[in-house]
Amino acid sequence: MDSLSQWIIYSDHHYLLVNKPAGIPVQDDQTGDKSLIRLMQAYCKHDLYLIHRIDRPVSGAVLFAKNKEAQAFLSNENEKKNFLKTYLALVPKTEIEEKGTWIDYLVHDKKKFKSSVVSDSTMKDAKKAILHYSIIRKLDNYNILEITTETGRFHQIRAQLSFRNIPIKGDVKYGARRGNKDRSIGLHAWKIEWMHHTLHKKMMFTIDPPESFIQMRITE
């Protein structure tokens, strides 16, 4: 495992921004594998408070609060849509508009640990999911999408892309033809923006995708 210090993008008395490698759960799960929050708490030698999550096979930005004041502030900012996250997704090339907005209704199947798009918005447990995308790069066999969401549904990006027959590369759970050797998927938490409650300024960071993400583009 790489030195944990190499994962740290930003740190002060209130916040810790980490570049999570794919394959590590953000928080403890049923596998018992070491989670990002446990690893970083051990490294920092104090408690951390989770602000948001990204899936285990996803890489990129994860922000922690170092105290309850920062946690409460960011939770409020998140509710007001002032806590912004932008993703990169590597998907099979197909005929879609250059940019657009997808509005779907998702149902989370807790037994299968998966979300599905449903046609009936009145269906029990169906929740609205709003996603904005634009194609930022076209490759021979793939497109790279820049994605933001207005809603934070379980596996939202993965489910909405799969529903349109453009599953994220390597995401066999949602219809990709084959997995990636490192069990990652072609989804990366690329940019993150939040207001710093003591510095009173907007914090903005861009985290480049890992080499494995770049290599995905030329493996097929």
Confidence (pLDDT) at 214: 67
Question: Domains of the chain, with CATH numbers?
Answer: 4-216 (3.30.2350.10)
Q: Give the DSSP per-residue string, 135-203.
A: EEEE-SSEEEEEEEESS--TTHHHHHHHHTT-PPTT-GGGT-SS--TTS--SEEEEEEEEEETTTTEEE
**Residue 158: its pLDDT value, please?**
98
Query: Shortest CA distance to 57 belongs to which of 143, 171, 148?
Result: 171
Measured CA to CA, the distance from residue 67 to residue 193 in angstroms comes to 19
32, 55, 1: which is closest to 171 by C-alpha? 55
pLDDT band for position 219 (cuts 50, 70, 90): very low
Stated pTM of the model: 0.92
Higher pLDDT: 31 or 27? It is: 27
DSSP count for the chain of H helices, then E strands = 4, 11
Question: CB-hemisphere CA count at 13 Å for 72?
Answer: 3
pLDDT digits (tens, 9 = 90+) for 94-142: 989 999 999 999 999 999 999 999 998 888 899 999 999 999 999 888 9
